[in-house]
Amino acid sequence: MNIKDIKYAYALHNPFTRPKSKVGKLFGLFDFILNDKIVPVHRQFNSVLSAAMQFDEMASLMHVGEVINGYVYPLDYHVVRCQEERFMPIASVTVDYSKILSGSLALKKNEVKNITDDTFKHSLELCLDGIQTVINEIINNLSKNKDDRSLQLKGYFERMLDKPCASFDEAIQRILFYNGLFWQNKHKQNGIGRLDMILAPYYQAGMADGSLTREKAKEMLYNMSLVLGKDMIFKSAALIGDTGQVIILGGVDKFGNTVENDITHMILEIFTEHPHPDPKLILRVNSQTSDDVWSKAIKCILKGSGSPLLMNENVILPLMKAFGYAKEDVYNFGTSACWEPLIIGKSLDQNNCIKNITILDIIVPILKNGKNDNFSEFLHNIDLEIANRIAEHDLSIEFDKAPILSLFFDDCIQKEKDFSEGGARYNHHGLLIVGLPNLVNSILNIKKYVYEDNVCSLNDCLNCIKNDFANHEDLRTLFKDGALKFGSSDSFVVDLTNHLMEQIGNAVEKRTMFGETIKVGFSSPSYIGLAKDYPASLDGRHKGDPFAVHISPISSDIDISEILDFASRLKYEGNRINGNVVDFVIPSSYAKNPEKLVSILKVTCKKGIYELQLNVLDKKTLIDAKAHPEKYPNLIVRVWGFSAYFNDLPEEYKDNLIKRAELYE
């Protein structure tokens, strides 16, 4: 077994429970080797086949079958698949569970039979064998129990082999089963999909034949959310809570009808009655979304769990179609963990697999080298530098192999290609831009203070950046408070922002990944990570301070009406569809008037906002929670695309939330 692989596996495995110290880590590594079942990479084989062999091997090592919260969830922390360090793990995709519910393992085997590429066929067959092994293990373990629930679940697992689901309860179990397997195989940030759409037929049938009541169904859904959330720490990526377990509600179905049923309502009720950070909710809203759903969604948001994030599909759907997603597929869009759109069951789209682009990078080269005699010349140089910066961004990447996902994503079997190698119908990966508001404010400051008021020179600006405003605190004060700001509905600010977004979009259009067009979005989770050692910027930001969060103001005089207006006037055309979130902290006055907030948000969607994430934060509470974490064990906050317990966040994230709460007060 390759020690490098093991060390890498240890580094990736359950990172939040690992010891922090060097010695602790060393002991942890020994413990990992001795007590966990590590499944090595088989380098002598084709890497897709190797991954399939690993899955089959893992399946035989897993101990699963325990009933927790009413269901079996096949995730065994002690069985670990090694991954090659050169490969980027595949994450943030969503299987179309409706197909899994209406299919069976036997049907899948039949599909695979027709594959002509022997190695690929063998790989998928090994995965199917592995799935069957886990099912058998669970059946065996359930047989040992004599209670009714175990017997019922055993029946569900037996039916997985050759029958479609027949009930609401069975459908939930089947979703949980496959979801657990994907996590087991190291596919992180699995989306759950459109539960209200895919579970509806089973719910309706159960209600019709009297085998189900609304109350029972709600309890099952609640238990499902508990099962999905029970491994939050193990599943988390960058921060605790960052699991990408998104349940999508609402939105249109393939006939263009808006999905809204008892399940939509029950899930919103569950998240309102029991706020918890994981899983998360996204609500796809459109002009048909009922007032009742709006109202429940707002009540849920006001409970403070950060769910649901709102996606305005009246804007998003046409833009996805125009970008190149087929009309017949686009109705079923979901997201990559946070907010980057993709097609459920058909997209590999790794929308955040490349280091995010810090767009402030373009400023220093222009200040140093550009001929900037007037503002229009300066702006022209901005355009050129954006093109340069994006042209040189490293997009090289290789993905981890994913034969188990090839079984379930269109069109891998037909194309006879692994999911990771272009097998899926869509492979439009994405880039994310961080710091657009900081760039806009920097340009607005240069326009006013260099070119209009002659307060300082471009060389002064360069020195401010280089020396973190040492001896230039006066300029920093001006830059922070003085000129027009990002988020203002002033036409110049809107036009400038649109111009920059368009330039970025054009530059990205010239790049491809694996020969496919790529997308770009202006919401990035890296607003703290990439800012840590980043020099000062001309928006008055000190070296190392966080960048602005998504499409959100960094100025206290821009209120919710203005930022929503501003975001509605931005142009998200072309490839600029990879997630564009307004992230705002709701003033308490709205929290006390939810019905009025509904009106505001409905109108905002009509005007053309892309996505919206709302936090309900109170500065005093956050400060107290930072000082006395023991008093606030259940305080939940929305961070980027995920919610988390405030106490679980690193200090810099706590400070950032406190600052933002203060800004929007």
Partner 1 sequence: MNKIRVSSIQRGCVYDGPGVRTTVFLKGCTLHCPWCCNPENISSEQEYFIDDKKCLKFKGINSALCTSCERNQGGKSILECPFGIARPVSQMMDASDLVFEIEKDKDLYATNGGVTFSGGEPLLQSECLLPVLRDCKELNIGIAFETTLYVAERLLKEVLPYANIMIVDLKLQPEQGNIPNYFNCISRNITLVKAKEIEIFYRLVFVNSMLGVKEKIYHSLKTLGVDKIELLKCHHLGSKKYEKLHLKSEDFTADEGEFQEFSEYLLSQTINVSQLKI
**Which residues bind to partner 1, rule: CB under 8 A?**
453, 455, 473-474, 477-478, 481-482, 489, 559-562, 565, 589-590, 592-593, 596-597, 599-600, 603, 606-607
Q: How far is the CB of 502 from partner 1 (least distance, A)?
A: 25
Cβ atoms of 413 and 345 closer than 8 Å: no
Nearer to partner 1, 354 or 598 (CB): 598
Cβ atoms of 538 and 485 closer than 8 Å: no
Q: Quick one: which of 125, 172, 170 has its CA closest to 152? A: 170
Nearer to partner 1, 479 or 534 (CB): 479
Show the DSSP H helices in 525-615 as ranges: 560-568, 588-591, 594-607
**Cis preceding-peptide flag for 279 (omega within 30 of 0):** yes
Give the Cβ contact number of residue 239 at 10 Å: 19
Distance CA 319, CA 322 (A): 5
Q: How far is the CB of 556 from partner 1 (least distance, A)?
A: 13
Q: How far out from the chain centre does Cα 142 lie?
A: 35
Distance CA 505, CA 581 (A): 17
Nearer to partner 1, 564 or 658 (CB): 564
Residue 338 is encoded by which pair of tokens? 């946070």
Amino acid identity, position 641: G
Q: How far is the CB of 376 from partner 1 (least distance, A)?
A: 24
Read off the DSSP letter of residue 135: H
Q: How far is the CB of 298 from partner 1 (least distance, A)?
A: 13
Distance CA 380, CA 354 (A): 27
Cβ atoms of 46 and 119 closer than 8 Å: yes
Cβ atoms of 441 and 556 closer than 8 Å: no
Q: How far is the CB of 608 from partner 1 (least distance, A)?
A: 12
Nearer to partner 1, 507 or 597 (CB): 597
The SS3 of residue 252 is strand
Q: Quick one: which of 641, 657, 518 has its CA closest to 574? A: 518
Q: How far out from the chain centre does Cα 59 lie?
A: 28
Nearer to partner 1, 521 or 540 (CB): 540
Residue 263 is encoded by which pair of tokens? 């399940």
Q: How far is the CB of 319 from partner 1 (least distance, A)?
A: 22
Show the DSSP H helices in 62-104 as ranges: 97-102
Nearer to partner 1, 455 or 623 (CB): 455
Cβ atoms of 261 and 200 closer than 8 Å: yes
Cβ atoms of 82 and 5 closer than 8 Å: yes
Nearer to partner 1, 379 or 598 (CB): 598
Q: How far is the CB of 604 from partner 1 (least distance, A)?
A: 8
Q: How far is the CB of 285 from partner 1 (least distance, A)?
A: 16
Strands 67-68, 71-72: pairing is: antiparallel
Nearer to partner 1, 76 or 565 (CB): 565
Q: How far is the CB of 474 from partner 1 (least distance, A)?
A: 3
Q: How far out from the chain centre does Cα 301 lie?
A: 18
Q: How far is the CB of 545 from partner 1 (least distance, A)?
A: 19
Cβ atoms of 102 and 164 closer than 8 Å: yes
Nearer to partner 1, 43 or 606 (CB): 606
Cα-based angle 192, 194, 197 (whole degrees, multiple of 5) = 140
Distance CA 645, CA 622 (A): 12
Nearer to partner 1, 5 or 565 (CB): 565
Distance CA 185, CA 401 (A): 10
Strands 581-585, 611-615: pairing is: parallel
Nearer to partner 1, 179 or 568 (CB): 568
Distance CA 528, CA 656 (A): 9
Distance CA 78, CA 314 (A): 45
Q: How far is the CB of 293 from partner 1 (least distance, A)?
A: 18
Cβ atoms of 333 and 426 closer than 8 Å: no
Q: How far is the CB of 520 from partner 1 (least distance, A)?
A: 30
Q: Which residues pair with 405 in a beta bridge?
A: none
Nearer to partner 1, 383 or 562 (CB): 562
Q: How far is the CB of 312 from partner 1 (least distance, A)?
A: 15
Nearer to partner 1, 6 or 597 (CB): 597
Nearer to partner 1, 198 or 444 (CB): 444
What DSSP string describes 470-514? Answer: TT-HHHHHHHHHSS--TT---HHHHHHHHHHHHHHHHHHHT-EET
Q: How far is the CB of 593 from partner 1 (least distance, A)?
A: 4
Nearer to partner 1, 290 or 593 (CB): 593
Q: Quick one: which of 235, 186, 234, 190 has its CA closest to 336? A: 190
Q: How far is the CB of 473 from partner 1 (least distance, A)?
A: 5
Nearer to partner 1, 217 or 563 (CB): 563
Q: How far is the CB of 549 from partner 1 (least distance, A)?
A: 20
Distance CA 90, CA 226 (A): 25
In the chain, count H helices and then E strands.
Answer: 29, 18
Cβ atoms of 282 and 246 closer than 8 Å: yes
